[in-house]
């Protein structure tokens, strides 16, 4: 005892770790988003785009892109002392979609990153998460020079359920990306609680 108080240190908090996927079309900014917030050096599996891949990689609108993710991006961010997110960026091209099932295992939720110039490129990701009942938030990456639309218009264009959050963001900005991740966690937890209550009510 020191001056009547215990000298024992406060027991460190054991953080809850949650897995979040970052999905979307080719060249939409998934690697940039993970890198913008990761507190560790992001793991990236990027390869240079090759001539052999040009027939299957649609670079329309992202002609300056020279690399592509072939497995995943990985990063980590501590939102609070007791909450850590592990971020897994999925590959965008069709030929790498077989990896999605592995990456999706154990995920709390997902970010579907969208580009208004190529909005149709995120349809597959939206469909994937809807079919598997994985909560997701749509984040519109506001590229310089890209057309801006109200989130209600984007939600209608993607035919989203009314409860799916749609946010505008800058995938390069740490604070902007943090807001998206917080929205994903809050949406996933609220949906989980709603399903739990529904299951309890059905059982009684």
Q: Class of the 24-203 domain? A: alpha beta
Per-residue pLDDT of the chain (204 residues; tens, 9 = 90+): 444 555 566 667 788 999 999 999 888 999 999 999 999 988 866 555 445 444 454 545 555 444 554 458 999 999 989 999 999 998 866 666 678 888 899 999 999 999 999 999 999 999 999 999 999 999 999 999 888 999 999 999 999 999 999 999 999 999 999 999 999 999 999 999 998 998 898 888
The reported pLDDT for the residue numbered 26 is: 86
Please tell me the predicted confidence (pLDDT) of residue 76: 95
Residue-level pLDDT at 1:
47
The burial of 80, by beta-carbon neighbours within 10 Å (0-12 exposed, 13-18 middle, 19 or more buried), is given as exposed
Distances (CA, A) of 201 to 62, 134, 193, 196, 204: 49, 22, 12, 9, 5
CA torsion sign for 73, 79, 85, 91 is negative
Tens digits of residue pLDDT in 143-198: 998 889 999 999 999 999 999 999 999 999 999 999 999 999 999 999 999 989 98
Residues constituting the chain: 204
- pLDDT recorded at residue 123: 94
- Token pair recorded at residue 62: 């992202």
- Containing 87, the helix (H) or strand (E) segment is strand 83-89
What is the spatial distance between Cα 154 and Cα 111, in angstroms, rounded to a whole number?
15
Instruction: Note the pTM of the prediction, 2 decimals.
Output: 0.80
């Amino acid at each position: 005892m020191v001056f009547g108080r215990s000298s024992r240190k406060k027991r460190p908090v054991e953080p809850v770790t949650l897995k979040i996927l970052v999905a979307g079309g080719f060249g939409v900014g998934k690697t940039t988003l993970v890198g913008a917030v990761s507190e560790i050096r992001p793991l990236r599996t990027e390869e240079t785009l090759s001539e052999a891949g040009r027939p299957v990689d649609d670079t329309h609108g992202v002609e300056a892109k020279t690399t592509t993710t072939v497995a995943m991006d990985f990063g980590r961010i501590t939102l609070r002392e007791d909450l850590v997110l592990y971020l897994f960026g999925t590959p965008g091209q069709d030929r790498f979609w077989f990896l999605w099932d592995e990456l999706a295992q154990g995920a709390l939720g997902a970010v579907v990153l969208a580009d208004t110039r190529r909005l149709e490129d995120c349809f597959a990701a939206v469909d994937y998460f809807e079919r598997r009942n994985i909560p997701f938030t749509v984040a519109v990456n506001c590229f310089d020079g890209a057309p801006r639309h109200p989130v209600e218009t984007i939600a209608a264009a993607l035919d989203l359920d009314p409860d799916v959050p749609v946010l505008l963001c800058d995938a390069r900005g740490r604070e902007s990306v943090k807001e998206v991740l917080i929205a994903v966690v809050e949406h996933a937890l609220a949906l989980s609680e709603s399903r739990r209550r529904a299951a309890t009510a059905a059982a009684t």
